[in-house]
Amino acid sequence: MPDTTRFYIDGQWTPPVTPKTIDIVDPSTERAFQTLAVGSAADVDRAVAAAKRAFPAFAQTTREQRLGWLRALLDAYNERSDQLVAAISREMGAPLSFARDAQVWVGRAHLEATVRALEDFVFVEDRGTTRIVKEPIGVAALITPWNWPLNQIVTKVAPAIACGCTVVLKPSEIAPLNALLFAEAVHASGLPNGVFNLVNGDGPSVGQVMAGHPDVDAVSFTGSTRAGIIVATTAAQTVKRVSQELGGKSANIILPGSDFALAVSQGVDAVMANSGQSCDAPTRLLVPGEHLGEVLGIAKAAAEKWKVGDPQAEGTTMGPVVSEAQFNKIQALIRKGSDEGAKLVVGGTGRPAGLEIGYYVRPTILANVTRSMAIAREEIFGPVLSIMAYRSVDEAVDMANDTVYGLAAYVSSSDLDEARAVAGRLRAGTVSLNYPAWDPFAPFGGYKQSGNGREYADFGMQEFLETKAVVGYRGK
């Protein structure tokens, strides 16, 4: 396991200014297995100062130099794959296979995509006598969550470095081990001192201080909408750029004429993966009312295939949720769904049989869900699916858009033209048709209260660039 007593600032591992620690809890046992040093405003000041000192020189590096560092980072990341898998499984409760094939894999995929995007990125363009230049924005504060930790770390750090920015990262204090291992990989890559800095801590003591720091030029935040509002409000005092990827309550519309056995099963699996802890999970399944009975049978069978248990055990496909607070929130929302009239199809409150210890949640499906119910409106962030019936495609589109969120949406149909037409009417940043392969070059981000800005590959790079016009560059 990495050293949890120090931060990474200015190319060195250094203790916090004021010693303070919190426990890192294994969600499968509910027991602390490590302590983590957490920072304060003084540590943020040190990290931001290091990034500010490093920025002028790093901003002038060439594309080829930055490609070299990113490729070296990818090599160092791959060398630590087994350690990253073990860390994520322990701190998040992810099954080992999922930690390896999804959580760690996706960080690698984003690094590879950023390298490819940087190879072809246009930083300079001439329009008549004017030269348009894309320049690094400066010092970037990066605040990342616990649910897909490496995904979010890499989709912020890699594009920022590709653009010539320097960064201060605050990973989630709930799942920090993978971030410390990532910092070791950054150090091994040979990046100049001060380009990458890491300070652990909670939101108020570190994250909010970073957002409001006068020497930070941009903030990239992923987390809850509630926390995002605090970050944006704090950052507004110094008029810095803020990009955010926030909550979601994604709709999954199964259109008439679909292969229901396939579409519904895939929809259930998309919700249950990662113990339901994905911001873009399709947690509202919208189906034609005349097919509701068929859908409930398929959905129940699909949910029952998930094996909940010890994330270290072979064959486990769903581990615990990440914390007691998360467990209690999910239980409360399942109860509220039943109280408001939803029909329990499978699962329900309480732990699965034989799992008395650990934050394990039963894969749960609720039917007869209406728009006004809390389970149809609030982000549950657990393995809970709400099934809603519609009478027409127009009503399905209206139901899908009837949310404060707009991160993602899903559409299934045997008629691709019909699916495309529906996609064009949905207010969401990503619309997936018939469960396609994941695309690391597709822009990722949300409408409405799901945030602003986009991540992934060249779209992510745009968030860390300023646009300068040099008028008269070529003369008359």
Which are the catalytic amino acids?
245, 279
Measured between alpha carbons, how far is 19 from 283 in angstroms, rounded to an integer? 42
Cα–Cα distances in Å, from 39 out to 9, 56, 80, 200?
12, 26, 26, 6
Measured between alpha carbons, how far is 400 from 396 in angstroms, rounded to an integer? 6
CA angle 442, 94, 318 (to 5 degrees): 95
Q: Which two tokens stand for residue 357?
A: 């210890």
